[in-house]
Amino acid sequence: SRHASDDLDARALSTLNHVFGLPGFRGHQEAIIRHVAHGGDCLVLMPTGGGKSLCYQLPALLRDGCGIVVSPLIALMRDQVAGLLEAGVRAAALNSSLSYAEADAIERQLLAGELDLLYVAPERLLTPRCLAMLARAKIALFAIDEAHCVSQWGHDFRPEYVGLSAIAEKFPNVPRIALTATADALTRREISERLGLTDAPCFVSSFDRPNIRYAIVDKQNAPAQLKAFIADKHMGHSGVVYCLSRAKVEDIADTLCKAGIDALPYHAGLPAEIRARNQDRFINEDGVVIVATIAFGMGIDKPDVRFVAHLDLPKSIEAYYQETGRAGRDGKPSDAWMAYGLSDIVQQRRMIDESSGSDAFKRVSMGKLDALVGLCESTACRRTRLLGYFGETALEPQCGNCDNCLSPPKVIDGTVAAQKLLSCAYRTGQRFGAQHLIDVLLGRLTERVGQFGHDKLSVFGIGGEFNEKQWRAVIRQLVSLGHLAPDSEAFGALKLTESSRAVLKGDAQVMLREQTGGRPPRAKSRRG
Ligand code: ADP
Ligand code: ZN
């Protein structure tokens, strides 16, 4: 009734003020809270730092019974529970770190109606014992945090999340709210389907993080570039550096330390106590840089991370957004910086090819990778492109706070260069990688060139207008434009595609980002 609804709104506001100590709602919070408090299901997409927790904590307090929160990380649960207890909310967490007696005590509290919020790890929730206990308890709602973990094609798939579809079946009358900070259209659909939310509304907030400045640079000597970036803008600041491999993590941490930067490694291969110590130092001290694999970060709630740097390409735009999103949660100016090169594309493609996934999985993964490569190669505003990927139209086509907006790259007609490169790939049999093609174009008589007689080809030495670095950029852009493709059978080999022909015939123009810092075109083009 009208009266009950007014009453609920008043209670929501008063709980917000008095329990959470906040003056008002932000963005979609109010609409979400009202919807869930009235018993509705929904999917919530909100960027990191947007205030997702309140969307389930508050309705749990407004409704009868205990709110059950499914959360993948023990550390995250611990922080949330501590915060809630401090605010006077009766909260607890059930996870593998508890003794039997502790778990038993929490279960008794739940059944006695003495809990407002209970955090449960998914694998625990799905045990017959826990489900049976929940069936006997009064439940206010189910909140599924980090709901993208249910997506098999996402970047953070957790098998234990798949079983959560049981919640909708076993507790059809309890509202479900699924929350995530990252979901493209495909992931969104997967979450809805798996968690039984296909008929539920989806509340989508703006994913823009205006205080983050995006920059993606051409990878030359990544460690040196990273050192220069930190020395330039971030000495003494907290930051996260992401690398793909454990060996590289240790290597880069070492390099940074030698440059006087307080850097610590973090990866799954380190002993647990060292990992915990490094993470604690990062969280509690100022100016610590953590060099990590993607094992690091989810659930880390450090507001003053001033930069996130990627030395290797993430898997997808979602992963990139999520990882860079750990910068600047306090709203202050922060940097998302990435060094990217052709080898990144080749490496990620190989990882997909060699994965044990189905063909469909590989196809989707390749598509997601291609979208990210497109973002890297884009000469337009990075933010507009990033938000566009999540279905959001930017208000301004130029954000003014990304590398491309701040110093617009010059775009040149690269059709002739593209034709030279593609002919070179064609004439050498589409069996060679970037280095060999460049050697041929630059007229270098390497052992391999000689061995295959490629110095006899018409394309030998025709590429003197560019230097090696510029040719690499041309190749990368041709790959990202789809005119050239890494051969999935022969590692590193580049072959022509359907669209190469139009370029070779002169029917398609190829616009390329001009590479700065190389030798100016035309100088020293004679080979000697
Ligand atoms: P998320 O889970 O979406 O990353 P959190 O729920 O952790 O975000 O909230 C991020 C920060 O924003 C927290 O410090 C929280 O107290 C604050 N916050 C949330 N809602 C509001 C609000 N309505 N007004 C002011 N601060 C808020
Ligand atoms: Zn921009």
Ligand that lies nearest to the alpha carbon of residue 52, given by its number in the listed order: 1
- Please give the pLDDT value at position 501: 93
Torsions phi, psi for 498 (to 5 deg): -55, -45
Indicate whether this model's pTM tops 0.80: no
Tokens representing 268 are 């799954």
- Rounded to whole angstroms, the Cα distance separating 266 from 277 reads 10
Return the DSSP state at 506.
T
Q: CB under 6 Å to ligand 1: residues?
A: 22, 25-26, 29, 46, 48-54
Location of structure tokens 């609409």: 31
Which of 26, 179, 322 to mutate to test ligand 1, by most ligand atoms within 8 A of the CB atom?
A: 26
- How far, in Å, from the CA of 27 to the mean position of ligand 2? 23
> pLDDT under 50 in the chain at which residues?
517-528
- Rounded to whole angstroms, the Cα distance separating 353 from 349 reads 6
Ligand that lies nearest to the alpha carbon of residue 76, given by its number in the listed order: 1
- How far, in Å, from the CA of 304 to the mean position of ligand 1? 15
Indicate the SS3 state at residue 242: strand
Indicate the SS3 state at residue 118: strand
- How far, in Å, from the CA of 173 to the mean position of ligand 2? 45
- Please give the pLDDT value at position 521: 40
- How far, in Å, from the CA of 21 to the mean position of ligand 1? 11
Q: Judge contact between 28 and 205, C-beta under 8 A.
A: yes
- Rounded to whole angstroms, the Cα distance separating 175 from 141 reads 5
- Please give the pLDDT value at position 488: 67
pLDDT tens digit string along 29-67? Answer: 999 999 999 999 999 999 887 899 999 999 999 999 999
ipTM: 0.98
